[in-house]
Structure 1
Amino acid sequence: MSKKISVLDISIDNFTAKEAMQEALAYMESDLVSVIELVTIESLMELGTEAELKEEIENFDLILAGNKTILEAAEITDHKCLRETEDKTFLKMFLRYLARKHKRVYLLVESEEEGQKMFGHFEEYYRGTQIVGMAKVSAKNRADDMLINAINGEEVDCVLSALSSPLQEELISKNRNVMNARVWLGLGKDGIPVSAKGIGGGRIGQFFMKQIFKKEIEKSKKRGN
């Protein structure tokens, strides 16, 4: 398997889409929930001061870059890896698998609008997927016990989380041992096109976020020196 890389103190698996998919398929055969995280520029920035949570993230089963800028920050130059990351090849492969096998999926979002857009995305591109539940999750009004009971009651194969950081990582880290599912896939807010436009939304917002991220990378390298 490919080696890990480190970006802003987060260890990331530098896997090809095929290698990542092989891991994910093995997780789908396990009785214990496995955690896959697609880290984004935004999530890496938000997790910057979360030392304890970063330690918890080290226990996730598979951590992949969700943006080629993250790989570039680690000086990865392999064109195939950069292209697959930018095209979200692994995510598309995994979602096609869920649809083809008619897997049971529970969606986590932060707003009704995002939920509608995500559901519509599955209806258009991954129709065979069984969406058995959807929940709106708020950092201010957490109700973890009710949420986990709802998920466990649906015999879920995959929990698909489109939550912002650190909410997404906190939720699975705290509840992993009591969740009945095969895979938790953390997409973050921009994993698939469901996010409302904000600082990270749109080309202008993404450009400025990348500039801020690059500055943080430079600071991190200087501290390392």
Structure 2
Amino acid sequence: MQKMDILGITLTDYSLKESLFLVDSFMKKGALSTILYVTTPMLILAGKDECEKERIESMDMTLCGEADILRVAKIDSKSRLYEVEHLVFLKEFLRRIARNAQTVYLLSDSPEDIENLKRELKDFQRGIVISGLQIIDGSTRKVEDVVNNINDIAPSVIISRMPWGMQEKWMQDAKPYINAEVWLGISRDMKLGEHRESLQKKAVSRIYKKMFHKRVNRYNGENEKNR
């Protein structure tokens, strides 16, 4: 376990063994625990938005969705970089869900993405049981409506994939009212499976990576001057 300060956001990097141990404890706790994958665009946003920073830091566990986050934090263990780049935690987490016959509820902001998410998760792990799904978009009126639909089914695990900012707000706002063990938020920026990314998406990803490194270098430089 290592603490990281990235653009003023406090994160904790857990080894695979530590993160799986935490998940096991979450599943026995009796109250909802939130786990969020964090990516470079999310950290750029949170570095300029105090509310977004607070939401990320309020999660019960954060996971690096990109190896670049570890690199700027000077965590250069080859095994950790491999685990992040190959989504080893996600694969192990889904394997445990399938093995224990636990049900999964999906949340997304579009019908197209929720179908893609369902397919990608099933490709990652056979035997995943999707017990329900829900679209959260501009027509979704209240947190209570979403919560009631989830609690009617009472899944073990919620897995969501929504735009940054929106996802973290929903996880924080709905957490106290949901009857489930774990809510895992997957970032829209993360590549799941072997599907090919569009040239536009690759270009946007490169832009954000350059911006991220530039912001981190500037932030670290300013902190050094102020010491």
TM-score by length of 2: 0.89
Q: CA deviation at 1:200?
A: 7.8
The corresponding residue for 1:155 is 154
The corresponding residue for 2:36 is 37
Return 5+ residue gaps in structure 1 as ranges: none
Matched, 1:53 2:86: no
Q: CA deviation at 1:175?
A: 1.7
Q: CA deviation at 1:117?
A: 1.1
Shift in alpha-carbon separation, 1:142–1:46, aligned structure 2, 3 A: farther
- Contact 1:11-1:63 at 8 Å conserved across structures: no
Matched, 1:116 2:127: no
Partners of 1:111 and 1:190 lie apart in 2 by: 15
DSSP 3-state at the match of 2:101: coil
- Contact 1:199-1:206 at 8 Å conserved across structures: no
Indicate the larger mover: 115-124 or 36-45.
Answer: 115-124
Q: CA deviation at 1:153?
A: 1.1
Matched, 1:15 2:29: no
- 1:17-49 CA distance string (max 9 Å, x none): 121111111101111101111101121122232
Indicate the larger mover: 189-198 or 119-128.
Answer: 189-198
- 1:128-153 CA distance string (max 9 Å, x none): 22211111222675532111111111
Partners of 1:49 and 1:148 lie apart in 2 by: 30
The corresponding residue for 1:221 is 220
Partners of 1:21 and 1:206 lie apart in 2 by: 29
- 1:183-222 CA distance string (max 9 Å, x none): 01111113453899689823x3322221111111122112
Q: CA deviation at 1:69?
A: 0.2
Partners of 2:84 and 2:138 lie apart in 1 by: 29
**Pairs aligned (count):** 223
Q: CA deviation at 1:122?
A: 3.0
Shift in alpha-carbon separation, 1:200–1:149, aligned structure 2, 3 A: farther
DSSP 3-state at the match of 1:106: strand
- Contact 2:91-2:125 at 8 Å conserved across structures: no
DSSP 3-state at the match of 1:190: coil
Partners of 2:196 and 2:216 lie apart in 1 by: 27
Shift in alpha-carbon separation, 1:90–1:171, aligned structure 2, 3 A: same
- 1:72-127 CA distance string (max 9 Å, x none): 11111111111111111111110111122221111111211111111112333323
DSSP 3-state at the match of 1:210: helix
Shift in alpha-carbon separation, 1:34–1:28, aligned structure 2, 3 A: same
- 1:38-79 CA distance string (max 9 Å, x none): 101121122232213322432321112111001111111111
The corresponding residue for 2:91 is 92
Partners of 2:92 and 2:171 lie apart in 1 by: 23
The two structures, once aligned, show a CA RMSD in angstroms of 2.3
Indicate the larger mover: 109-118 or 192-201.
Answer: 192-201
Shift in alpha-carbon separation, 1:146–1:13, aligned structure 2, 3 A: same
Indicate the larger mover: 86-95 or 142-151.
Answer: 142-151
- Contact 1:163-1:188 at 8 Å conserved across structures: yes
